[in-house]
A and B are shown apart, each in its own frame.
Chain A
Amino acid sequence: MAEITLTVNGRSVTKSVKGNTLLVEFLREDLRLTGTHVGCDTSQCGACVVHVNGKDVKACTMFAVEADGAEVATIEGEAAPDGTLSAVQAAFQEHHGLQCGFCTPGMVMTATALLRDNPKPTEAEVRDYLEGNICRCTGYHNIVKAIMAASGQDVTSIAAE
């Protein structure tokens, strides 16, 4: 066991963890932040994406002890405390960027990281950035549209509802 101290969604947390505890297990089971999902557990699907020191990472492929001292952001911290959705979340709602919602936390965290580095991506850049995020429902169309809309770009010409 090792004691780790990290910031999760702005709050400092100190806990003992085993060496082989994954960051996603720590978030879901120790902190009960179950918004971060496990879709594959094999680094393929992106349902577990969170930010560590501002970078999007797959929380199923990182150990909790490696986040000692880090700032971690999860989907739970994206909306404002009064419940106002982030721009990306609001656009997913507005443009129907989800169906079952299982992939959505990872999609939102990945899209948020993209827009921080590249505030006005092209549609091709959005699709490229989502390479590690799998959605089994939507066919990606409305996810891409939502992200384009969240970046403040006109999406009326992106066809097919």
Chain B
Amino acid sequence: MYAFDVVRPSSLDEAVAALGEEDAQALSGGQTLIPTLKQRLAMPSKLVSLTGIADLQGVSADGGTITIGGATPHATVAAEAGSFPALAQLAGNIGDPAVRNRGTIGGSLANNDPSACYPAAALGAGATITTNSRAIAADDYFQGLFTTALDEGEVVTSVSFPVPEKAAYVKFEQPASRFALVGVFVTKSGGDVRVAVTGASNDGVFRWSEAEAALSGNFAPEAIDGLSVSGDDMISDLHGSGAYRAHLVGVMTKRAVAAANG
């Protein structure tokens, strides 16, 4: 690793001010950033730790919405997001217990890894990502591989999920990393169905609109019989070809719908 300082502010204002300095970068759980630093793929002058800021911690449920502080670790979401079981279950299946004790929702959404789980939940549930300066709808937030609507130095302070009537997340795990080879998050609220797919596309998480249309008429696995996504724009690597991932999108969507129907 290159040399850098780490500061641990206790308030958001201090953190935002520190992030305004040249080459400063946010550090949350470090489960993605520390490996990146070890590979010398980043050269920040200063890391601004967000985990000591009380306002960025915790899970709260209010009416039909569940709000998660930006620096809340996956283990806390798994334990405390009981009013949105599909989300709690997703958090409880990220990586392994030690990763879940450190890794956070804000870090995952800021990073927007094409194989990460939380982006599927945020897009699939129509979440709102709140930062120190604004609120961003999930539909506008994800902008391709490792790219988001966040500006330099902008901090994800919380994420609010409207709790759907029915929901499920099903991931086909890449067995070594436990990231999603393909993961699908499906929600239904009244006639509104959303299907968000992670792990598959070269453009990162996306909504499968044909499946959404079919499922809003008939929320059953058979509704998407005959539908498929093209393998052309899918990630192709040693774990699976684009065609294989495209096939998995259909299979995982059906399983997610079946699971959401309980």
Contacts and interface: CB of A to CB of B under 8 A. Distances in A.
B5 A55 contact: no
A132 B96 contact: yes
B34 interface: yes
Contacts of A22: 34
Given A20-B3, A61-B102, A68 B8 contact: yes
A20 B96 CA distance: 24
A28 to B, nearest CB: 16
B95 A61 contact: no
B98 interface: yes
B101 interface: yes
A110 interface: yes
A110 B38 CA distance: 24
B30 interface: yes
Nearest to A109: B98
Q: Is the interface of B mostly helix, strand, loop or mixed?
A: mixed
A90 B96 CA distance: 25
Interface residues of A, number: 28
Interface string B13-25: 0000000000000
Nearest to A106: B98
A46 interface: yes
A33 interface: no
Given A61-B30, A62-B30, A62-B102, A110 B2 contact: no
Given A62-B30, A62-B34, A66-B51, A46 B98 contact: yes
A98 to B, nearest CB: 19
Chain B, interface size category, equals 20 to 34
A57 B37 contact: no
A41 B49 CA distance: 21
A20 B1 contact: yes
A110 B3 contact: no
Contact of A20 (B37, B98, B99, B101): B37
Interface string A1-43: 0100000000000000011101000000000000000000111
Interface string A36-74: 000001111010010000011110011101101000000
Contacts of A43: 31, 34-35, 99
A55 B29 CA distance: 13
Interface string B89-102: 00000011111011
Given A19-B4, A20-B2, A66 B49 contact: yes
Contacts of A87: none
A132 B75 CA distance: 14
Given A20-B2, A131-B96, A131-B178, A66 B8 contact: yes
B90 to A, nearest CB: 15
A2 B97 CA distance: 29
Contacts of A63: 6, 27, 30, 34, 47
A11 B6 CA distance: 24
Given A61-B34, A66-B49, A56 B98 contact: yes
Interface of A: 2, 18-20, 22, 41-44, 46, 49, 55-58, 61-63, 65-66, 68, 110, 113-114, 129, 131-133
Given A19-B6, A66-B51, A132-B96, 12 more contacts: A2-B6, A19-B4, A19-B47, A42-B38, A46-B98, A55-B75, A56-B98, A58-B98, A61-B31, A63-B34, A110-B98, A113-B97
Interface of B: 1-6, 8, 27, 30-31, 34-35, 37-38, 47, 49, 51, 75, 95-99, 101-102, 176, 178
22 contacts: A2-B5, A2-B6, A19-B3, A19-B6, A20-B3, A42-B38, A43-B35, A49-B98, A55-B75, A55-B101, A56-B101, A57-B101, A57-B102, A58-B99, A58-B102, A61-B30, A61-B102, A63-B6, A66-B30, A66-B49, A68-B8, A131-B97
